[in-house]
């Protein structure tokens, strides 16, 4: 089964929303909210759209918004991602 990882998410974040120089996205960011990482609602929409388009899934607002964490986002994606998709 394919698994979406935190590293995969970081790649999407960098591509869609850029990187805030106050945070090292390669560090321990799993439990920090996206808002606290410097990503607002618009940035998160860009990330969500990129993930949806690439993986062919439809993500809910809950767990993928600016008040969520990268760990929760990864969990939501893995719950929805078909086994045949390889990130």
Q: What is the mean pLDDT of the chain?
A: 90
The answer to whether position 72 is within a domain reads yes
DSSP code string of the chain: -----HHHHHHHHHHHH---TTS-TTSS-TTS-TTTTT--HHHHHHHHHHHHHHHT----STTSSTTS-HHHHHHHHHHHS-TT---
The answer to whether position 85 is within a domain reads no
Per residue in 25-67, pLDDT tens? Answer: 999 999 999 999 999 999 999 999 999 999 999 999 889 999 9
The answer to whether position 86 is within a domain reads no
Global pTM reads 0.89
The answer to whether position 63 is within a domain reads yes
Count how many domains the chain has: 1
């Amino acid at each position: 089964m394919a698994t979406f990882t935190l590293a995969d998410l970081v790649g999407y974040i960098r591509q869609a929303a850029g990187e805030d120089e106050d945070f090292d996205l390669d560090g321990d960011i799993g439990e920090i909210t996206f808002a606290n990482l410097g990503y607002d609602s618009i940035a998160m929409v860009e990330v969500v759209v990129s993930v949806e388009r690439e993986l062919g899934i439809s993500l809910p607002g809950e767990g993928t918004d600016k008040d969520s964490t990268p760990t929760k986002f990864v969990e939501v994606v893995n719950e929805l991602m078909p086994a045949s998709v390889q990130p």
